[in-house]
Amino acid sequence: MDAAAQRYGDIFNAPVIGNYPVVLFISNPQALQHIFTSDTKQFITPPNQLMQPLVGDDSVFLLEGFRHRRERKLLMPPFHGEQMQTHGRLICELVDKAMSSLPIGTPFSARRLAQDISLEVLLKVVFGIEREDRFNHLKSLLVNFTDSLQSPFIGGLFFFPSLQNDWGSRSPWGYFRHLQRQISELVYAEIRNRRNQNHAGLDILSLLISARDETGQPMTDAQLHDELFTLLFAGQETTASAIAWGLYAIHRHLDVRQKLLVELNHLGVAPEPTTIVQLPYLTAVCHETLRLFPIVVATSPREVKEPVELMGYQLEPGTRLYGCIYLTHQRPDLYPEPNLFKPERFLERTFSPYEFFPFGGGARRCLGEALAQFEMKLVLATILSRYRLAIADRLPEYPQRRGVTFAPARGVQMVLEEKL
């Protein structure tokens, strides 16, 4: 991407996804503004086919038009007011639970730790799964499932649908499908179980079960399954990697760590989660982490609906457009010395949603943005103020593709030095 941007600039054709002759990657803020604000007029938000093998046809990633809009409303995690305090306290408790199992001085993967925490948050807060046995089984399958995506033999196949052949669980795609089927069985069991219970909770599964469409019909089990799978996948893989990158950046830049500690110490003993998440320097650190290490490097596709001019080019219907998050976040005119980790840039100026957009934008903007940022800030703040960690070795981390997201290749190896 760097080489293409250097050679061709803010807009270039790279027909690398699907069978489309023109696939444009765009990193120009004015063009991105045009796309995100005309999402449903001049452009359509077609199904994100890359996600199909992961989440199924009834996932919000694959829906269009009215059903897409309706399902987005339902899936938006209810995150406000009192609930926020309760969820916040739960997240801090989950951090302590995960950290208490770590022995002092033994290297561990920060990504694995963060994955543990974010899975528990999703299963408890969003799905309301309480039973320990079901919870643990689903959790371990999901970890294997997302880990399998790091294998180039599986992760790479997403871009080549004709090679996605299930030749039994010993073949790469067969193994992926085998894990997926096992998770599906548990998700279906959870749906049946909830349907049989007569009380509705505040979690998304309960909301989806009680939802009715315009003709008064409830969602089918298959529809519920695909949406649950979507949230499980989209929610934990991404947030876990963001937290791991945050821990990496903070502990590679000890001045940043020090400033964060000063800010956190000012809050006194046992601050409320909703106070923690408003801290300006903590927010800047999280933004700079998501800028420098975007988990998703390009948005879902948009498609030109009627002839339109963009950046001086006449685009024909059917042209595919991707907002390029990675390249926009690397623009030196917006972010001088873009490869350096400098949280201060987010204190010195405000970036528009077309200059900084780790969660995409427009009609397909990430549904879990509020949850992800809330969790990221609370996990980092709780770890920093209660534990002393260090990076285990001096080797740098590089981003590596895991299916459709990017994560630190070595998982960020750290050691726990002290419990404070």
Structure tokens at 217: 């019909």
CA-nearest of 136, 32, 2, 101 to 361 is 32
Cβ neighbours for 328, distance < 8 A, ≥ 6 positions apart: 27, 28, 29, 32, 334, 354, 355, 356, 357
Which is nearer to ligand HEM, 225 or 364 (by Cβ)?
364
Cβ neighbours for 146, distance < 8 A, ≥ 6 positions apart: 115, 233, 236, 237, 402, 403
CA distances 291 to 110, 203, 256, Å, are 19, 31, 16
One residue of 180, 223, 238, 328 binding ligand HEM per CB under 6 A: 238
316 and 42 Cβ atoms separated by less than 8 Å: no
Question: Shortest gap between Cβ of 14 and ligand HEM (angstroms)?
Answer: 17
Q: Is there binding between residue 246 and ligand HEM (CB under 6 A)?
A: no
Q: Compute the distance between CA of residue 355 and CA of residue 282 in angstroms, rounded to an integer.
A: 20
Burial class (CB in 10 A: 0-12, 13-18, 19+), 266: exposed
Q: Is there binding between residue 372 and ligand HEM (CB under 6 A)?
A: yes
Residue 337: DSSP 8-state: S
The amino acid present at 23, given as its one-letter code, is V
The CB density around residue 340, as the number of other CB atoms within 10 Å, is 11
CA-nearest of 98, 50, 123 to 244 is 98
360 and 368 Cβ atoms separated by less than 8 Å: no
Tell me which residue has tokens 């987005």. 72
Tell me which residue has tokens 């010195």. 348
Choose the stretch contacting ligand HEM; rule: CB under 6 A; options: 1-9, 133-141, 267-275, 352-360: 352-360
Q: Is there binding between residue 399 and ligand HEM (CB under 6 A)?
A: no
Q: Is there binding between residue 114 and ligand HEM (CB under 6 A)?
A: no
413 by DSSP, 3-state: which?
A: strand
Question: Shortest gap between Cβ of 270 and ligand HEM (angstroms)?
Answer: 26
172 and 151 Cβ atoms separated by less than 8 Å: yes
Q: Is there binding between residue 264 and ligand HEM (CB under 6 A)?
A: no
Q: Is there binding between residue 146 and ligand HEM (CB under 6 A)?
A: no
Question: Shortest gap between Cβ of 63 and ligand HEM (angstroms)?
Answer: 8
Q: Is there binding between residue 240 and ligand HEM (CB under 6 A)?
A: no
One residue of 146, 180, 230, 382 binding ligand HEM per CB under 6 A: 230
Which is nearer to ligand HEM, 368 or 408 (by Cβ)?
368
Q: Is there binding between residue 223 and ligand HEM (CB under 6 A)?
A: no
Q: Is there binding between residue 29 and ligand HEM (CB under 6 A)?
A: no
Tell me, residue by residue from 301 to 340, as one string, x for binding to ligand HEM by CB under 6 A and - for no binding.
----------------------------------------
One residue of 335, 359, 374, 387 binding ligand HEM per CB under 6 A: 359
Question: Shortest gap between Cβ of 150 and ligand HEM (angstroms)?
Answer: 17
Q: Is there binding between residue 224 and ligand HEM (CB under 6 A)?
A: no
Q: Is there binding between residue 235 and ligand HEM (CB under 6 A)?
A: yes
What is the distance of C-alpha 246 from the center of its chain? 14
Q: Is there binding between residue 60 and ligand HEM (CB under 6 A)?
A: yes
Question: Shortest gap between Cβ of 313 and ligand HEM (angstroms)?
Answer: 21
One residue of 295, 334, 379, 389 binding ligand HEM per CB under 6 A: 295
Q: Is there binding between residue 125 and ligand HEM (CB under 6 A)?
A: no
Choose the stretch contacting ligand HEM; rule: CB under 6 A; options: 156-164, 276-284, 342-350, 363-371: 363-371
Which is nearer to ligand HEM, 108 or 245 (by Cβ)?
245
Which is nearer to ligand HEM, 47 or 218 (by Cβ)?
47
Cβ neighbours for 256, distance < 8 A, ≥ 6 positions apart: 249, 250, 285, 341, 343
Total site size for ligand HEM, rule CB under 6 A: 27
Residues lying near ligand HEM in the complex (CB under 6 A): 60-61, 72, 126, 230-231, 234-235, 238-239, 242, 295-296, 299-300, 358-362, 364-368, 371-372
